[in-house]
Amino acid sequence: MKPLQLISSLTLVAASIATLPSAFAQTASLEKASLGSDLIAQADHNETDKVSPRWLSLYGYSAVLPGGNYPWYFNPANLPSNLRLDDVVLTLQHAAGRWSQLCNVNLVYMGLTTTPPLNRVNGGYDRINVVGFIPFSSISANNNYAGLTYVGYDVGSPGEKPHTVIDVDIVLNANAPGGWNLSMLDGAMTHEFGHGLGLDHSQDPGSIMFAMPYHTADYDRVPRKDDVQGCSALYGAAPSQLSNRAMNWAESQYPNELKRLGTAPVTQTYDGYLYRYYPGSNAYVGTKNGRVYYMVGTTKPPQDMGALTDFWGQIDAAGF
Ligand SMILES: [Zn+2]
């Protein structure tokens, strides 16, 4: 049976995809489920079968969200009591925005919803993309998991490869060991949104989609070169991709000069600049017309650091 073959191939390419929960056993012939699952605890083994490219599609082939459009809602039920709703929504938007900055995708926050993340209608997907916290005991999931991404996709006509993602639900463990903070949420959700876009766990150890072992939540806030190649292959590059890759690299290279406080900086625009602001050092870094600029405070003009292309060798070599 084709569906069984599909499930088999999924378990081969994604080591952490186990059997699908019985609640998501499929009855509709045109819909299949895929599951990206994430342990908080680090796995104790490494992959040995490296291939190129190392990013992997969640489906074994390139199934995508139509037009790269990924509208998502947040269900505030079961929100951990130490987190403020406004902070959580902002953090989720930042995590989603990182992918929009790099690839031709539109992850758009649609607002709060009371629709449960794993809602089903008549046994099928409700086609509403929801992020929310639930106790993982309620879905018989390992309580060491931080997040799980459930993806439904259209199998298409007989003999045709699946090509359309129709439903993405991301659940976060309301009872995660050690609890939650915004940094952890930021990293976990950047990774989970990668699954939502159709990326499986990468074979590149530097990738934030790598999972054997998982990186820290802080590391996972910044998509790396392999992640960018993955989403670019599926959706194409965003116009701002090179600038954002450069700023991602600069943050890593100059943590004191570009010192963040709390949540990660967000790319903004002003007068033709794409830039980020770092309150810890009162500094700005940005690009405009292919040049790189750096500025401390606002009393002196931006300093021209050179052409973006001059940095490209370093950026690429550093894995951004
Ligand atoms: Zn994962």
On the question of pLDDT at 198 being above 70, the answer is: yes
Do 291 and 313 sit in the same domain of this protein?
yes
Query: Which of 235, 261, 293 is where one domain is finished?
Result: 235
How far does the centroid of ligand 1 lie from the alpha carbon of residue 18, in Å?
A: 12
How far does the centroid of ligand 1 lie from the alpha carbon of residue 256, in Å?
A: 30
Residue with tokens 């802080």: 218
Q: Give the model's pLDDT for residue 157.
A: 64
CA 125 to mean position of chain CA atoms? 21
How far does the centroid of ligand 1 lie from the alpha carbon of residue 188, in Å?
A: 9
Which secondary-structure segment (H or E) carries 306? strand 303-307
| In the chain, % of residues over pLDDT 90 | 60
Rounded Cα–Cα distance for residues 73 and 108 (Å): 9
Rounded Cα–Cα distance for residues 282 and 140 (Å): 47
Q: Give the model's pLDDT for residue 98.
A: 95
How far does the centroid of ligand 1 lie from the alpha carbon of residue 214, in Å?
A: 8
Do 210 and 249 sit in the same domain of this protein?
no
Q: Give the pair of three-digit tokens for residue 293.
A: 């600029």
How far does the centroid of ligand 1 lie from the alpha carbon of residue 9, in Å?
A: 17
How far does the centroid of ligand 1 lie from the alpha carbon of residue 208, in Å?
A: 9
How far does the centroid of ligand 1 lie from the alpha carbon of residue 293, in Å?
A: 35
Q: What is the CATH number of the domain that holds 186?
A: 3.40.390.10
Query: Which of 189, 212, 235 is where one domain is finished?
Result: 235
Do 195 and 262 sit in the same domain of this protein?
no
pLDDT in tens, 264-302: 788 999 999 999 999 999 999 999 999 999 999 999 999
How far does the centroid of ligand 1 lie from the alpha carbon of residue 202, in Å?
A: 9
How far does the centroid of ligand 1 lie from the alpha carbon of residue 278, in Å?
A: 29
Do 192 and 272 sit in the same domain of this protein?
no
DSSP labels, 143-182: TTEEEEEEEEEE--STTPPP-EEEEEEEEEETT-TT---H
How far does the centroid of ligand 1 lie from the alpha carbon of residue 75, in Å?
A: 21
How far does the centroid of ligand 1 lie from the alpha carbon of residue 205, in Å?
A: 13
On the question of pLDDT at 180 being above 50, the answer is: yes
Do 187 and 273 sit in the same domain of this protein?
no
pLDDT in tens, 43-98: 222 333 334 445 666 655 567 899 999 999 999 999 999 999 999 999 999 999 99
Q: Is the dihedral of CA 117, 238, 95, 32 positive or negative?
A: positive
Q: At 166, is the pLDDT very low, low, confident or very high (cuts 50, 70, 90)?
A: confident
Which stretches of 165-282 are DSSP H helices? 182-196, 225-235, 241-253
Q: What is the C-alpha R_g of the chain?
A: 20
In degrees, rounded to 5, the angle at the alpha carbon of residue 106 between the alpha carbons of residues 100 and 108 is: 105
Three-state DSSP class for residue 290 = coil
Residue scoring higher pLDDT (1 or 249): 249
What's the domain count of the chain? 2
Do 73 and 35 sit in the same domain of this protein?
yes
Do 62 and 38 sit in the same domain of this protein?
yes
On the question of pLDDT at 184 being above 50, the answer is: yes
Mean pLDDT, the chain, rounded, equals: 81
How far does the centroid of ligand 1 lie from the alpha carbon of residue 282, in Å?
A: 34
On the question of pLDDT at 231 being above 80, the answer is: yes
Do 78 and 14 sit in the same domain of this protein?
yes
Q: Which structural domain, as residue segments, surrounds residue 293?
A: 241-317
pLDDT in tens, 19-43: 233 222 222 234 455 555 443 322 2
Q: What single-letter amino acid sits at 292?
A: V
Q: At 178, is the pLDDT very low, low, confident or very high (cuts 50, 70, 90)?
A: confident
Do 226 and 313 sit in the same domain of this protein?
no
Do 231 and 248 sit in the same domain of this protein?
no
Query: Which of 187, 207, 235 is where one domain is finished?
Result: 235
Do 224 and 291 sit in the same domain of this protein?
no
Rounded Cα–Cα distance for residues 92 and 89 (Å): 5
Q: At 124, is the pLDDT very low, low, confident or very high (cuts 50, 70, 90)?
A: confident
Q: Tell me the C-alpha to C-alpha distance, in Å, between residue 172 and each of 150, 152, 259.
A: 11, 18, 29
How far does the centroid of ligand 1 lie from the alpha carbon of residue 274, in Å?
A: 30
